[in-house]
Amino acid sequence: MTLKRNIIITGGAGFIGSHVVRLFVNNYPEYHIINLDKLTYAGNLANLQDIENRPNYTFVKADICDYDKIRELLQHYHVDGIIHLAAESHVDRSIKDPFTFAHTNVMGTLTLLQAAKVYWESLPERYEGKRFYHISTDEVYGALQLTNPAGDKTGRGPYGDQFFTEESKYNPHSPYSASKAGSDHFVRAFHDTYGMPTIVTNCSNNYGPYQFPEKLIPLFINNIRHHKPLPVYGKGENVRDWLYVIDHARAIDVIFHRGRIAETYNIGGFNEWKNLDIIKVLIKTADRLLGHPEGYSSDLITYVTDRKGHDLRYAIDSTKLKNELGWEPSLQFEEGIEETVRWYLNNQAWMDNVTSGDYQNYYESMYKNR
């Protein structure tokens, strides 16, 4: 059978990427989905064991910075769509090692763009039916003012009336967000210069199953389970907009298929929480599910020195996406966090494997000679 489309999804073994790969493999059996992942510490093929034998799925271990390999893959699989999620994404790591973030996030994106340009322009139809979709972050916009510190349900948002829109100016404050901003600019430049059919989306904080436990929610769930300290930056007053990862995958699906070329779409949940408040929800939920008395883990909260350049508030306005393409979050935060906490508590073997690093040794051995 000739498949209708051949789509590379970069970073498909990671947190968000694995959910996007699963959705496309399951929902579009007529597509061939090529999962391209370098399998760094954040990439784990155990995230995709349920679909790894599907006939429309292929995994390729490769580095997005390897231009010759990317060219070869595009030609071999006759790729007509790229959904680009592969990125270094942890702010603390970017502060310690900005070079890796610039290399992967900027040069990796540029490598994909140039390889796609050269391959697609070599075809008789050139860019017709092609699409390069780049997934970015709300952090490129900088920070918003916290004009309602109490978080009362007044005005447009609980913590202020300002939101990031698609017209917000870029103002990155960390090496991570600066590297993502640079990659966003390259994607738009390839449309404006070469006519490449590109789309960019900027999304708020994601949470849900399969997230690497360096991030707040899985880290704290695991620490609560093992009664370890819960380190809170500063006073825990930083505000983030949270989106359930499967809702993000749904948005990517809609935008890839129906989004307008050369447009930017913001993806968010209108779901702002202070870090300290979300930690309290995690404690309450995990303690209940673990059979602990209410408040049992509250004494684990430990305040630590604030992160350098720590933005105070992010908040995404995804009105454009809702009005144009009909997307909106399917889960309220309380529902999503309940499902998330329950998943991590019920999948301790996955968590133990990830925190031990054993999964990396397994896959390094499997693919070292390929």
Q: What is the pLDDT of residue 308?
A: 87
pLDDT band at 369 (very low <50, low <70, confident <90, very high): very low
Q: Residue 364 pLDDT > 60, yes or no?
A: no
**Largest Cα–Cα distance of the chain, in whole Å?**
67
Q: What is the pLDDT of residue 362?
A: 44
Mean pLDDT of 165-183: 97
Q: What is the pLDDT of residue 251?
A: 98
Q: Rounded to 5 degrees, what are φ and ψ at 199?
A: -140, 145
Q: Residue 37 pLDDT > 80, yes or no?
A: yes
How confident is the model over 234-263, as pLDDT tens digits? 999 999 999 999 999 999 999 999 999 999
Q: What is the pLDDT of residue 270?
A: 86
Q: What is the pLDDT of residue 157?
A: 82
Could you tell me which residue, 138 or 90, shows the higher pLDDT? 138
Q: Residue 361 pLDDT > 60, yes or no?
A: no
Please name the amino acid found at residue 58. Answer: T
- Point out the least confidently predicted range of 144-153, 190-199, 263-272: 144-153
Mean pLDDT of 80-99: 96
> Over pLDDT 70: what percentage of the chain?
95
- Which residue among the candidates 119, 133, 176, 363 is catalytic per the annotation? 176
Q: Residue 168 pLDDT > 50, yes or no?
A: yes
Mean pLDDT of 169-185: 97
Q: Residue 363 pLDDT > 50, yes or no?
A: no
Q: Residue 64 pLDDT > 80, yes or no?
A: yes
Q: What is the pLDDT of residue 360?
A: 53
Tokens 């929610």 correspond to 217
Size of the chain in residues? 370
Cβ neighbours of 200 (radius 10 Å) = 25
pLDDT band at 359 (very low <50, low <70, confident <90, very high): low
139 as an active site residue: the answer is yes
- Which residue among the candidates 37, 80, 138, 237 is catalytic per the annotation? 138
Mean pLDDT of 124-131: 98
Q: Residue 367 pLDDT > 60, yes or no?
A: no
From the centroid of its chain, how far is CA 51? 20
Contacts of 131 (CB under 8 A, 6+ apart): 80, 81, 82, 197, 198, 199, 256, 261
pLDDT band at 150 (very low <50, low <70, confident <90, very high): confident
Please name the amino acid found at residue 16. Answer: I
- State how far the Cα of 350 lies from the Cα of 47, in Å rounded to an integer: 9
Mean pLDDT of 151-157: 75
52 as an active site residue: the answer is no
- Point out the least confidently predicted range of 1-10, 141-150, 196-205: 1-10
- Which residue among the candidates 88, 139, 247, 317 is catalytic per the annotation? 139
pLDDT band at 321 (very low <50, low <70, confident <90, very high): very high
How confident is the model over 38-56, as pLDDT tens digits? 999 889 999 999 999 999 9
- State how far the Cα of 203 lies from the Cα of 251, in Å rounded to an integer: 10
Q: What is the pLDDT of residue 309?
A: 83
Mean pLDDT of 6-25: 98
Nearest Cα to 56, choosing from 14, 11, 10, 5? Answer: 5
Q: What is the pLDDT of residue 67?
A: 98
> Over pLDDT 90: what percentage of the chain?
85
Q: Residue 118 pLDDT > 70, yes or no?
A: yes
Strand bridging mode 239-244 / 205-207 = parallel
